[in-house]
Amino acid sequence: SFYSKLSLFLFLFLFPLIIMKNYSKKIIFKPKKKIIIQTPKQIASFLAYRVISNLKIINKISTDNKAKYHFILQPLLFASTNKTKLDKKIINYVGNTKYQSFDYANFCIEYYNYLLLGLKQENEMLNNYSDFSDIFKNVNNQRFVDPVHFGSIGQSECAKIIGDKLISQEKKTNNKL
């Protein structure tokens, strides 16, 4: 009698767990797919807002800790005007690649425009960012290996510009003391 009651109890207790084990991953924890249709401008605006919000947090943290930081908007192939043959091939390839029915080139341009607009409107961040998105604007030689990354020549030139910017900031700070 004891064993039959124990067997019944175990069966009643464990049977639902066995069923849950078989269906839990399939049904219970299955993510619901929401189809959200947004334009490149809406997505770019949202992402720019998120980046600026994070930069405000970084600004607050660095101010509280008496640390310096500088946000640099990186060079962008789409912002350059003189494009080499390889640049044109890269842009053509990326331009033909669609992401949720819009092209990457338009999205990047919209994102940078919203980001720059937002940064210019934030008074506390005016001295903490630099726009390097078009530093290769009038360069005729190959710099980019894809729309947002550049090769060793571009890296060297960008590093020099960043270094000059940081050195000039340090000189200004030391002159104020």
What is the average per-residue pLDDT within 71-93? 82
Spatial distance between the Cα atoms of 158 and 81, rounded to a whole number of angstroms: 17
Spatial distance between the Cα atoms of 81 and 146, rounded to a whole number of angstroms: 15
Q: Are strands 71-73 and 102-103 parallel, antiparallel or unpaired?
A: unpaired
Average pLDDT over all residues of the chain = 79
Q: Which tokens hold the place of 13?
A: 């207790």
pLDDT of residue 24: 56
pLDDT of residue 127: 79
Q: What is the pLDDT of residues 4-51, one digit of tens each?
A: 777 777 777 777 776 666 665 555 556 666 666 777 788 888 889 999
Using pLDDT thresholds of 50, 70 and 90, give the confidence band for residue 90. confident
φ, ψ dihedrals at 25, nearest 5°: -75, -30
Categorise residue 52: left if φ over 0, alpha if ψ from -120 to 50, beta otherwise. alpha
What is the average per-residue pLDDT within 139-168? 86
What is the average per-residue pLDDT within 56-81? 85
Q: Which tokens hold the place of 123?
A: 């008074």
